[in-house]
A = this chain, B = another copy of it.
Amino acid sequence: MIPVIFRRIGRASAVLVFFWFGGALIFPCAIRAQLITFSKQDLADYTAKEPFERFPDGRPKVPNELLERARDLNSEEIWATLHEKGYNNQFADGFTILHPGKPLVGRAFTLQFMPLRQDLDQVAQQKAKEHGLARLMNQTAIDMLQPGDVLVVDIFGKKVDGTVVGDNLFYYVMKATNGGGLVVDGSIRDLNGISEIDMPAYFKSADPTPIGNVMLTGINVPIRIGNVTVMPGDLVVGDREGVYFVPPQFIREVLDRADEIRIHDEWTKKKFDEGKYKSSEIYSTPKDPKLRAEYEEYLKKRLAELKKQRGEN
């Protein structure tokens, strides 16, 4: 990305740069200077069912060991549990996937942008100033990222001027999140440079323009990505199909169900490999009670192995 000192900046870009750096040294202050606010109390109220710890700012903190287990998840395994719970709006697709084979897993850190409107922008700037947030001296939203985070950005699908990061900031996000990842309902810049950085990313398009003509209106507020309402702290899982946003209260169940699904598939393929059965004799459930018993036995044994392997007892 282009160093600011080398270019003349038009007014619109200046606004952008401000907003980009419009996060906060001290989080609560930043929150106050946003057009859309969602307080620590709001976070606590609306995510009351999440069973884990929280970050100081109230965001649910899915434990690292579950993030680790979640690296094996795919969309279809998550669908099984969420569909049963009646959560059918948690999947988004239609993205360009930067590294298709590489799993995306992490905690949602959300950003919301809206089309620039100077009257609102000027008030937000003034509010920022009153909270002691000088324009270019402050940390950006990106500076608030934590290891294990996935940056999830709603910039309403904007392509031109909707490039949330270029390769420099993408690199920084990778460092700060420890390779967490990026999901953008919008575009990115420097696709060549970004392609060489080893962090999963999902975006709608790429464009040579820098971000502009927008304002950052919310950090860690509820946002819309496609047909999903994403909450800060959601478990984000991306595979070759798209991205799932899992409410924290369902994560354990999703992971346990996924174990069973994977063992089931393992056994099914083994049986298919024997070449003695038609698919319908084995799948999705063995017809023959003896085979079924064999499967149940296998499932039990493999689950126990998995548990042991994970050091659970």
Contact B284 A4 (CB under 8 A): yes
Any B CB within 8 A of the CB of A254: no
| Of A35, A118, A192, A206, most B-chain CB atoms within 10 Å | A192
Using CB atoms, name the residue of chain B closest to A215: B229
Any B CB within 8 A of the CB of A80: yes
The 8 Å CB contact of A127, one of B45, B74, B249, is B45
Contact-residue bracket for chain A: 35 or more
Contact A229 B120 (CB under 8 A): yes
Contact A74 B190 (CB under 8 A): yes
Contacts of A284 in B (CB 8 A): 1-5, 17, 168
* Interface 1/0 per residue, A137-156 and B, CB below 8 Å: 11110110000000000001
Distance in Å: Cβ of A103 to nearest Cβ of chain B: 9
Alpha-carbon separation in the docked complex, A248 to B177 (Å)? 42
How many copies of this chain sit in the oligomeric assembly?
6
Which of A51-59, A262-270, A304-312 is near enough to bind chain B? Answer: A262-270
Alpha-carbon separation in the docked complex, A168 to B264 (Å)? 10
Contact B46 A4 (CB under 8 A): no
The 8 Å CB contact of A115, one of B229, B265, B273, B287, is B229
Contacts of A40 in B (CB 8 A): none
Contacts of A291 in B (CB 8 A): none
Contact A3 B75 (CB under 8 A): no
Contacts of A176 in B (CB 8 A): 279
Interface residues of A in 51-92 (CB under 8 A from B): 74-80, 83-91
Give me 5 A-to-B residue pairs in the complex whose CB atoms sit less than 8 angstroms apart, sorted by A's number: A1-B76, A1-B265, A74-B192, A76-B166, A120-B231
